[in-house]
Amino acid sequence: MTEKNMPLWEVFIRSRTGLSHRHAGSLHAPDAEMALQAARDVYTRRGEGLSIWVVPSGAITASDPSDKDALFEPTASKIYRHPTFYEVPDEVGHM
């Protein structure tokens, strides 16, 4: 029995008022609420977070690097290649 993969989420943290959210990394969580809690436990253990955003990784659209000649790997405008980006049901991302 193959287990379904746990959805992947990108995490953005604003550490102080006045700053914008910065990408901190990713994590696995079954849904948005658990992703938010996990982000707190994983990425703000040293009190680095005032505000956390979590986004399903597959929901982010990436631009083409500006110089097409200089080596860019088209990944259908996703932020990176990941085996489950296209398997995660849309509904899970919009919870």
Partner 1 sequence: MYAQALNTVTEVSKDDPAKLAAFQARIDAEEKIEPNDWMPEGYRKTLQRQISQHAHSEIVGMLPEGNWITRAPSLKRKAALLAKVQDEGGHGLYLYSAAETLGVSREELVDALHAGRAKYSSIFNYPTPSWADMGMIGWLVDGAAIMNQIPLCRTSFGPYARAMIRICKEESFHQRQGYEIVMTLARGTPAQKKMAQDSLNRWWWPAIMMFGPSDAASQHSDQNMKWKIKRFSNDALRQKFIDATVPQGHFLGLTFPDPDLRFNEATGHWEHGEIDWSEFNRVVKGEGPCNRERIKARIKAHEEGAWVREAALRHAEKRAARKAAARIAAE
Partner 2 sequence: METPLLTYTLRLADNALILGHRLGEWCGHGPMLEEDLALANMALDCIGQARNFYTYAGEIEGRGRSEDDLAYLRDCDEFRNILLVERPRGDFAFTILRQFLYAAFMHPYFERLGTSKDERLAAIAAKAVKEMAYHLRHSAEWVIRLGDGTEESAARLQEALADLWPFTGEMFEVDETERALIEAGVAVDPAGIRPLWLDTVDRVFADALLNRPKDGWMQTGGRRGEHSEHLGHLLADLQFMQRAYPGSTW
Q: Which residues would be at the binding site for partner 1 (CB under 8 A)? A: 3-8, 25-28, 30-31, 34, 42, 45-46, 62, 65, 70-73, 75, 79-84, 89, 91-92, 94-95
β-partners of residue 23 are 12
3-state secondary structure of 55: strand
Choose between 19 and 87: whose C-beta lies nearer to partner 1: 87
Site map (CB under 8 A) of partner 2, residues 14-33, x = contact? -------------xxxx--x
